[in-house]
Amino acid sequence: MKKLTLKFGGTSVGTIEQIRKVANIVKKRHDDGNQIIVIVSAMAGATNKLMSNSKSISKNFDSKELDVLISSGEQVSSSLLSGALIDLGIKARSWQGWQIPILTDDNYNSSKILNIKTDEILKFISDRGVAVISGFQGISEKSRITTLGRGGSDLSAVAIAKFFETDACEIYTDVEGILTTDPNIDKNAKKIDKISYEEMLEMASLGAKVMQPSAVQASMIDNIPIHVRSTFLEKSGTKIISESEIDHKKVVTGIAYSKNNAKVSIIGVIDKPGVAADVFEPIGKNNVNIDMVIQNTSLDGKTANITFTIKQGDLNKTLSIIEKNKNKINYNKITHNDKLAKVSIIGAGMIASPGVTYKMFRSLANENINILAISTSEIKISVLIQEELTQKAVKILHKTFELN
Ligand code: ADP
Ligand code: ASP
Ligand code: MG
């Protein structure tokens, strides 16, 4: 007998028919003699709808009320799934985050889980009950409802696996597992059998929506293996495990992309110590995340240009921060471009293989794709390109690195 955490994403509980399908999967695992804790997301599209309702009320909808609102989709799906299980003759019950409780900090809209009380649910599952927990939500010490960031049911699942010490953490979704790239962009995307926490964290952070980055980070810290698999195909999926258990046959494991990037160039700043800090300090203090940075010096060595990338949604705010600090920063002019994408190749195999960088750049050049900025780490190379070239770039890199 094993204790299992099974998480079903919004795309797996999007319709009543799908909820019945999920109930049958849970029943089968339960009939095999396992103790089961299920985490559910809201029905596909529900959270987006709630978000847009809040925006119709106000552009600056109160963050605490937003969490009350957007956590409600999971209450619906958890009760529907529990009801479906009861209908199949299984003892089942839903729990909302506050009922357990799942205690979080009070960083509304992207809270961290601090603790989960386990005794009541442990008793319930040891009495052959199936516990169905609403993902994405918790409660702060001040007894206010919190949420864990978009896609946060993945993080709920990892935390449940940790606090309940379950034998497995399975993430059921609408694709076969982690694929070499987004199947919506390249239909040649192939399932990856095993991927390391580090590679998965890069893939997720660089745009692969299939796992929430914070969930991957949490699983890496606590060494909790994850099995990402399909709700709709009875097949083994992808194991996210530690690097030491993987034999890298390929240099590149996967390709990720993110759209909606913007680039800002500050032209003609004085080239002296402290200037980059003067530029980035007010931007950082206003909670804008800076991604790539390039600085180049003019021929006379007296002035420099500082270029950086941010999310498109932060562009206007960033431009006005720079404008406000014009006296301190002292520049000639600013240029910007807000229709850019970042395309990245990821793979721990790169560490031992020289020539990956040139191969990436050459294959993009052959397709006439201009690179506007570059950033690298040991296991990834990212390039900034025009947004409309995203699909072309992903496809050619997928082919170049033999992932087709
Ligand atoms: P869930 O509803 O189960 O949480 P998500 O929509 O959050 O599912 O994530 C699954 C989706 O992620 C897939 O349907 C696919 O469109 C997208 N995706 C993007 N990149 C990848 C990738 N590399 N591998 C698998 N899926 C990916
Ligand atoms: N329902 C939440 C969202 O859409 C959480 C999740 O799906 O994981 O972001
Ligand atoms: Mg998801």
Gap between the Cα atoms of 115 and 111, Å rounded: 12
- Please name the residue whose Cα sits nearest to atom 4 of ligand 2: 47
41, 69, 96, 102, best to mutate for ligand 2 pocket (most atoms within 8 Å of CB): 41
What is the separation, in whole angstroms, between the first and last Cα of the chain? 40
- Give the position, in ligand 2's atom list, of the atom nearest the Cα of 74: 1
* pLDDT single digits (tens) 4-17: 999 999 999 999 99
* pLDDT single digits (tens) 322-350: 999 998 888 999 999 999 999 999 999 99
Gap between the Cα atoms of 99 and 80, Å rounded: 17
Instruction: Specify whether the CB–CB gap between 398 and 180 falls below 8 A.
Output: yes
CB contact set of 7 (below 8 Å; sequence gap of 6+):
38, 39, 40, 41, 135, 153, 154, 156, 157, 169, 170, 171, 172
Over pLDDT 90: what percentage of the chain? 93
Taking the model in full, what pTM does it have? 0.95
* pLDDT single digits (tens) 174-220: 999 999 999 999 999 999 999 999 999 999 999 999 999 999 999 99
Instruction: Specify whether the CB–CB gap between 337 and 263 falls below 8 A.
Output: yes
Task: Determine the distance from the C-alpha atom of residue 277 to the mean position of all C-alpha atoms in its chain, rounded to a whole number.
Answer: 29
Which ligand sits nearest to residue 178's alpha carbon? Answer: 1
User: From the CB of 73, is ligand 2 less than 6 Å away?
Assistant: yes
Nearest alpha carbon to residue 248 among 166, 340, 346, 348: 348
* pLDDT digits (tens), the chain, 404 positions: 999 999 999 999 999 999 999 999 999 999 999 999 999 999 999 999 999 999 999 999 999 999 999 999 999 999 999 999 999 999 999 999 999 999 999 999 999 999 999 999 999 999 999 999 999 999 999 999 999 999 999 999 999 999 999 999 999 999 999 999 999 999 999 999 999 999 999 999 999 999 999 999 999 999 999 999 999 999 999 999 999 999 888 999 999 999 999 999 999 999 888 989 999 999 999 989 999 999 988 888 889 999 999 999 999 999 999 999 998 888 999 999 999 999 999 999 998 888 999 999 999 999 999 999 999 999 999 999 999 999 999 999 999 999 99
User: From the CB of 98, is ligand 2 less than 6 Å away?
Assistant: no
Over pLDDT 70: what percentage of the chain? 100
- Fill in the DSSP letter of residue 137: E
∠ at Cα 13 (8, 15), nearest 5°?
Answer: 170
* Other Cβ atoms within 10 Å of 243 Cβ, number: 14
- Give the position, in ligand 2's atom list, of the atom nearest the Cα of 73: 1
Instruction: Specify whether the CB–CB gap between 312 and 357 falls below 8 A.
Output: no
pLDDT at position 297: 86
